[in-house]
Structures are given as structure tokens and as C-alpha cells.
């Protein structure tokens, strides 16, 4: 990261791959931000800049860097691989944390459990300029994509056909809507939609409030 690249990021503002922070708030909050980037398309966490792009700077680059490295290692599971740059920008010291998209998704907030718990683990993803809690469906998809688990003997059944028919008229469908449509449990509806995403038949979309819906794959 150099001066010119930082200037471009600041001008673009917060977005899917960039978040501004005035200071290091807490390990949990920063971990959630970094996890969201790693679970999505990667990005930059920039310390010393306000939400309105005002250049404030940081008091101690080393202190922030040490806290970030500790957070990436001890508060993210699996630990995150990150890089940190110190850049003087308009007379202020800025800390840029680069978080690449991970090949070990999904990452979660440290919970001291041996395995990820779909019901309780905190897994975040990036949606527009926000980090939000991932749904069970998204976690399943992240896990399957990361492990490259192929669908074995997947075939389109009656439920899948009803999903396609529904999408002809409604354009999108949710787990609850499928559950009601075919009179099955939400758990089964969730698995059906996740499998359809993994088979490249559907696409999953997340709203800023964390709610998700599915559309036909383009």
C-alpha cells in the first residue's frame, strides 16, 4: 500500500472492501470487521480516518498494529493472515490493515469450541459498506465452497421444480417462503435452497439487516 493507493481508497469511501476506523475499539468489534472481509472478497481496515473521510490520524501506530495482530491471531477462528502498512497522509499517521479473501472460510469469532456451531457461532460477512451476521444458509455455502465438497447424485426433484416455478412470478424466494410453499420445515427448506446454490441453480443475496433471499442463477 502506498500514498496514491491510500488516497484512492479514501476518496472512494467506505464500501464492500473498505472500512474506516478512528481508533481500535475492542478486540471483538475489530475481529468481526476483519472476519467479514476474509469471508467475503477481502478488504482494508483503515485506522485514523473518520466515517466522513476526515483525516484524524492515530496516536500510536505500533500499539494499533500489535492489537490488530493479536486480534487476528487470538480472536478469529481460524486465525487470519493479514498485512499492515504505516503511511503518513497529509501530516497524519494512518494504519492500513489488508485482509485478503480467505481460502479457509468460514472464519468465526473466537468461541473456544472445537467446531463451528451453526446456531451460536458468530460468522460475519460484508454487505455493501457494513459487516453483518451470516445466516445458517450462507455459513453452509461458505463451508462447502471452502472445502470444495462436490454434490453427489444431486437431482432436481419436485421441491426444486416448485422453486423455479415460484421464481417465474416472484423473482426471489426466502427459506420461510419455500417452507410455506411446499409445506416442509424451514430446516429442510434451507437445505434445499443451499443445495441449489451449490449446484449453481440459484444465487444467494444478503440484505444489510442480515436477511437473505435467493434468485435464479444468471
pLDDT digits 0-9 by tens, 172-197: 999 999 999 999 999 999 999 999 99
Cell readout for 153 is 447424485
Strand stretches in the chain, DSSP E: 18-21, 43-47, 76-77, 83-89, 92-99, 108-109, 124-127, 130-133, 202-206, 212-216
Nearest CA to 18 out of 40, 37, 39 is that of 37
Domain residue extents for the chain: 3-133, 142-216
Give the fold, CATH level 3, of 142-216. Answer: Arc Repressor Mutant, subunit A (1.10.10)
49 φ, ψ (degrees, to nearest 5): -130, 135
Check if the beta carbon of residue 19 is closer than 8 Å to that of residue 130: no
Give the fold, CATH level 3, of 3-133. Answer: 3.30.950
Q: Is the pTM of this model over 0.85?
A: yes
* Rounded distance between C-alpha atoms, residue 187 and residue 179, angstroms: 8
Task: Print pLDDT tens along the chain (218 aa).
Answer: 899 999 999 999 999 999 999 999 899 999 999 999 999 999 999 999 998 999 999 999 999 999 999 999 999 999 999 999 999 999 999 999 999 999 999 999 999 999 999 889 999 999 999 999 999 999 999 988 887 666 667 788 899 999 999 999 999 999 999 999 999 999 999 999 999 998 889 999 998 888 899 999 87
* Rounded distance between C-alpha atoms, residue 79 and residue 166, angstroms: 41
Amino acid at each position: 500500500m502506498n500514498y496514491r493507493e491510500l488516497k484512492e481508497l479514501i476518496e472512494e469511501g467506505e464500501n464492500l472492501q473498505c472500512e474506516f476506523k478512528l481508533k481500535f475499539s475492542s478486540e471483538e468489534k475489530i475481529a468481526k470487521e476483519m472476519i467479514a472481509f476474509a469471508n467475503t472478497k477481502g478488504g482494508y481496515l483503515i485506522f485514523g480516518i473518520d466515517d466522513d473521510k476526515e483525516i484524524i490520524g492515530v496516536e500510536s501506530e505500533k500499539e494499533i498494529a500489535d492489537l490488530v495482530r493479536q486480534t487476528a491471531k487470538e480472536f478469529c477462528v481460524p486465525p487470519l493472515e493479514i498485512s499492515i502498512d504505516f503511511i503518513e497522509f497529509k501530516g497524519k499517521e494512518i494504519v492500513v490493515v489488508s485482509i485478503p479473501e480467505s481460502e479457509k472460510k468460514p472464519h468465526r469469532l473466537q468461541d473456544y469450541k472445537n467446531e463451528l456451531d451453526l446456531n451460536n457461532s458468530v460468522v460475519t460477512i460484508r454487505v455493501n459498506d457494513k459487516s453483518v451476521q451470516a445466516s445458517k444458509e450462507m455459513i453452509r455455502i461458505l463451508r462447502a465452497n471452502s472445502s470444495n465438497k462436490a454434490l453427489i447424485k444431486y437431482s432436481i426433484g419436485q421441491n426444486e421444480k416448485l422453486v423455479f416455478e415460484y421464481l417465474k412470478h416472484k423473482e426471489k424466494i426466502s427459506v420461510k417462503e419455500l417452507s410455506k410453499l411446499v409445506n416442509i420445515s424451514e430446516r429442510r427448506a434451507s437445505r434445499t435452497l443451499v443445495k441449489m446454490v451449490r449446484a449453481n441453480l440459484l444465487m444467494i443475496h444478503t440484505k444489510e439487516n442480515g436477511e437473505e433471499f435467493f434468485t435464479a442463477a444468471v
